[in-house]
């Protein structure tokens, strides 16, 4: 089995040391270390990821991409593929902090509004004992005595480490590392999925029909409804979906349509010649006459000027030959003089 090169190691170290990287930044690192542009070497990029993941699989890690549902951007990160008690020993968080994080995640995914957030007050009021099985008498003292100040500190650390995020309205949402790590957890806990991409719909728009359970991410809505020709209806129940196509999206669609309709330069030339041929075929003029008119009219004067001297030369040569025969038959005398005069007249 071939080992990883220093280029593979650099990609892994960049993600591990800096945390989840935006797609643009990760692609830039790949281009810098390989000297290859991703636009023309997409297959090479995929081969790098595949080779890295083959090696990482032996230690239950994976380099994967995910989309942050709050900003719509794609991120790359390394995640642990096994969630067991042994893997928990590698975390820097305490048992109460982990239980607190689980409580926040459950509260966010249970949000029925599709905002994918909870307020800070709601987070601080989460009871850690709800994360344990059994009666209250079995609750460890560390959980029971987890204070408000400790919860505030834990929230700050979760946001700093990108397990959670702070939204513009002051609420708390999932961080990009949660989207990377919790894909299987979302599926196992039957978190509602997006009707377009089939990923967990933490931050999504809901169908206007309250009896319909369809959810669609905002970026998936844009991809689905930005085409003005597409009907803006719910794919589940057919209810009209209140999606407004922005002016920028309309301009982008028009530019894409023009680019798709305009053929390449060689194709346009072929098409113009074909159109001229079709026009000529639709004419009542006979094809032979059109051929003479289009192809030979330009050289008509040249052809006539060349054919006339050629005929005179042949006629002249024929008369000279006849005169020579007469001379041979008649011998010298008047006939010779007549032939000579005839020849001189021809030369004149």
69, 93: one domain: no
Q: Any residues with CB less than 8 A from the CB of 173 and at least 6 apart, and which?
A: 70, 108, 116, 117, 164, 165, 166, 167, 202, 203
* Euclidean distance between CA atoms 217 and 193, whole angstroms: 9
Asked if residue 276 is part of any domain, the answer here is no
Tokens of 333: 């005398």
Domain limit, last residue, from 171, 191, 211: 191
92, 73: one domain: no
Asked if residue 35 is part of any domain, the answer here is yes
54, 120: one domain: no
Q: How many CB atoms lie within 10 A of CB 310?
A: 8
DSSP letter (8 states) at residue 215: E
Q: Are 146 and 140 a contacting pair, CB within 8 Å?
A: no
78, 23: one domain: yes
What are the two backbone dihedrals, phi and then psi, of residue 91, each rounded to the nearest 5 degrees?
Answer: -90, 155
Residue 182: CATH number of its domain: 1.10.10.10
59, 104: one domain: no
pLDDT tops 80 at residue 330: no
pLDDT tops 70 at residue 87: no
Q: What percent of the chain has pLDDT over 70?
A: 65
Q: Are 67 and 199 a contacting pair, CB within 8 Å?
A: yes
Tokens of 123: 């987070």
Sheet holding 117-118, edge to edge: 117-118, 172-174, 164-166
* Euclidean distance between CA atoms 315 and 338, whole angstroms: 19
Q: What is the pLDDT of residues 132-185, one digit of tens each?
A: 765 555 777 778 889 999 999 999 999 999 999 999 999 999 999 999 999 999
108, 184: one domain: yes
- Local structure of 166: helix, strand or coil: strand
* Structural domain count, the chain: 2
Band (pLDDT 50/70/90 cuts) for residue 336 is very low
173, 133: one domain: yes
Phi-psi region of 63 (alpha: psi -120 to 50; beta: other; left: phi over 0): beta
DSSP letter (8 states) at residue 228: T
Residue 341's pLDDT is what?
A: 46
Buried b (16+ CB within 10 A) or exposed e, 78-109: bbbeeeeeeeeeeeebeebbebbbebbbebbb
71, 116: one domain: no
92, 78: one domain: no
Instruction: Name the residue range of residue 16's domain.
Output: 6-82
Domain limit, last residue, from 159, 191, 223: 191
Residue 23: CATH number of its domain: 3.90.1150.220
> What's the chain's length in residues?
348
Asked if residue 150 is part of any domain, the answer here is yes
Domain limit, last residue, from 164, 191, 218: 191
Asked if residue 289 is part of any domain, the answer here is no
List the one residue out of 96, 186, 194 whose CA is nearest residue 147: 96
Residue 36's pLDDT is what?
A: 92
63, 114: one domain: no
30, 50: one domain: yes
Asked if residue 270 is part of any domain, the answer here is no
Average pLDDT over residues 88-99: 82
List the one residue out of 183, 178, 204, 199 whose CA is nearest residue 105: 178
Asked if residue 255 is part of any domain, the answer here is no
Asked if residue 185 is part of any domain, the answer here is yes
Residue 141's pLDDT is what?
A: 78
Least confident of 88-97, 133-142, 234-243, 319-328: 319-328
Asked if residue 227 is part of any domain, the answer here is no
List the one residue out of 56, 7, 68 whose CA is nearest residue 33: 7
Residue 339's pLDDT is what?
A: 44
């Amino acid at each position: 089995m071939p080992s990883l090169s220093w280029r593979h190691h650099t990609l892994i170290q960049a993600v591990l040391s800096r945390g989840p990287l935006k797609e643009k930044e990760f692609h830039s690192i790949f281009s810098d270390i390989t000297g290859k542009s991703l636009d023309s070497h997409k297959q090479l990029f995929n081969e790098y990821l595949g080779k890295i993941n083959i090696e990482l699989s032996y230690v239950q890690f994976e380099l994967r991409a995910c989309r942050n549902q709050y900003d719509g951007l794609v991120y790359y990160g390394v995640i642990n593929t096994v969630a067991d008690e042994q893997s928990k020993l590698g975390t820097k968080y305490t048992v109460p902090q982990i239980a607190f994080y689980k409580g926040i995640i459950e509260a966010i995914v249970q949000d029925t509004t599709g905002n994918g957030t909870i307020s800070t007050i709601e987070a601080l009021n989460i009871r850690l004992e709800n994360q344990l099985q059994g009666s209250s008498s079995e609750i460890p003292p560390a959980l029971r005595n987890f204070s408000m100040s400790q919860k505030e500190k834990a929230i700050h650390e979760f946001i700093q480490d990108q397990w959670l995020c702070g939204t513009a309205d002051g609420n708390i949402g999932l961080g990009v590392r949660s989207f990377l790590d919790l894909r299987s957890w979302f599926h196992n806990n039957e978190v509602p999925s997006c009707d377009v991409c089939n990923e967990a719909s933490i931050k999504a728009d809901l169908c206007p029909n309250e009896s319909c359970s369809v959810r669609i991410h905002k970026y998936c809505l844009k991809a689905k409804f930005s085409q003005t020709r597409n009907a803006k209806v719910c794919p589940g129940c057919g209810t009209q979906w209140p999606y407004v196509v922005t002016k920028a999206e309309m301009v982008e669609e028009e530019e894409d349509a023009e680019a798709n309709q305009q053929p390449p330069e060689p194709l346009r030339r072929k098409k113009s010649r074909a159109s001229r041929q079709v026009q000529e075929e639709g004419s009542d003029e006979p094809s032979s006459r059109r051929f003479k008119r289009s192809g030979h009219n330009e050289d008509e004067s040249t052809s006539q000027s060349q054919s006339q001297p050629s005929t005179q030369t042949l006629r002249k040569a024929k008369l000279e030959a006849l005169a020579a025969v007469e001379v041979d038959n008649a011998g010298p005398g008047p006939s010779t003089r007549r032939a000579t005069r005839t020849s001189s007249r021809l030369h004149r």
